[in-house]
Amino acid sequence: MRVDEIKEHLTESIIPFWMSMKDDEFGGFYGEMDFDLNLYKRADKGCILNSRILWFFSNAYMTLGDETCLVYATHAYKFLKEAFSDKEHGGVFWSVTYEGKPSDDTKHTYNQAFAVYGLASYYGASGDKEALVLAYSLVEKLETFCRDEIGYLEAFDRGFIPASNEKLSENGVMASRTMNTLLHVLEAYTELYRVDKDGMVADKLRWMLDIFADQVYNPVERRLEVFFDHNMNSLIDLNSYGHDIEASWLVDRGVEVLNDPNYTAKITPITKELVEHIHSVAMDEASLYNECEEGKVDTKKVWWVQAEAILGFLNGYQKDPSKVEYLESVGKIWDFTKTYMIDPREGSEWFNELKKDGTPINTKEIVGPWKCPYHNGRMCFEVINRKIAF
């Protein structure tokens, strides 16, 4: 059964690989391994990577009950608290040196959100109230400096003065707001509300769900718009297949944790439509393409997109068991992932990107600021916890 395969892959491959990235000398986890498996112990350490590792080991502990995973989560937590936290201005830095000194000291809403996400899960795993306090200190910065009446803003300097958003802008546009950042603030607040039922967090979840439904979702194209100007006007004709299938289940999770019947009724038809659309336009025979810009499909196969597709279609089937084609696609994508995406070399993990024919792209790193155990690890946790055979 594939569920057993995925659990074995998690315990025998993904967890040991990321344990091997632990930096016992300077703290945290190493920040870079290139395609040829060269480990750069003196590379900068990104906060997003560290927060995702914190989240990963916290959830590995909660899913598997392995105390060693909690030890690794605590190691990540200590480095976030001691190295990434800005003791002067609050918030967390974008990156630090291998020694734990500020490197890129800018503040980004996306980065703050992932720190909240990791801290909330660590609190859920460990019961350490200090982690919860730190999470709420970041929420205070997000709500004070990173949000206005329209939505969440993006990039700031160290003192939370607005700056340009190169870090989360792509495809030739400079975005004042992005679907990606909004999605992951929603994700972070969902996890925080799951472990600590704070009414203010619930109110912000409702507010973000309204933005998704009323402004980010495009009912004509059946997709989420991606990049926006300040007033939430879409800047580009782009369908990000990976983000849409990821959002289909993450937004469902937010609605489930919020447990508000009004928002269940409002949001569920949208997430259902996202899954149907992605399944109809983004699948080849056995995997998911990357995106479609101005009608042109990017046929690369990206590691995180495959992981989110497995989970998104599994969630879609769980919500509507008549959609047996979703469950069939889950099996196909996992089989593709086993054959092509998982790196068979000893001491590696998943390839980052593949060409359409499954050939690895050898310029893309195995570990980096964005290449982490969050998407594929989370897919494993969810498959194990949902207990749906495929």
Alpha carbons 358 and 356: distance in angstroms, whole number: 6
Sequence-distant (≥ 6) Cβ neighbours of residue 171 within 8 angstroms:
226, 227, 236, 238, 293
Angle at 144 between CA 174 and CA 233, to 5 degrees: 30
Q: Residue 211 is inside which H or E element, if any?
A: helix 199-211
Q: Measuring CA to CA, which residue among 170, 168, 173 is closest to residue 156?
A: 168
Number of domains in the chain: 1
Alpha carbons 243 and 168: distance in angstroms, whole number: 13
Decide if 187 contacts 254 (C-beta within 8 A).
yes
What is the identity of the amino acid at 288?
A: L
Q: Residue 96 is inside which H or E element, if any?
A: strand 95-96
Range of the domain at 174: 2-386
Alpha carbons 277 and 180: distance in angstroms, whole number: 19
Please report, in tens digits, the pLDDT of each residue of the chain (390 residues total): 799 999 999 999 999 999 999 999 999 999 999 999 999 999 999 999 999 999 999 999 999 999 999 999 999 999 999 999 999 999 999 999 999 999 999 999 999 999 999 999 999 999 999 999 999 999 999 999 999 999 999 999 999 999 999 999 999 999 999 999 999 999 999 999 999 999 999 999 999 999 999 999 999 999 999 999 999 999 999 999 999 999 999 999 999 999 999 999 999 999 999 999 999 999 999 999 999 999 999 999 999 999 999 999 999 999 999 999 999 999 999 999 999 999 999 999 999 999 999 999 999 999 999 999 999 999 999 999 999 999
Alpha carbons 183 and 383: distance in angstroms, whole number: 21
Q: Is the pTM of this model over 0.85?
A: yes
Q: What is the CATH number of the domain that holds 96?
A: 1.50.10.10
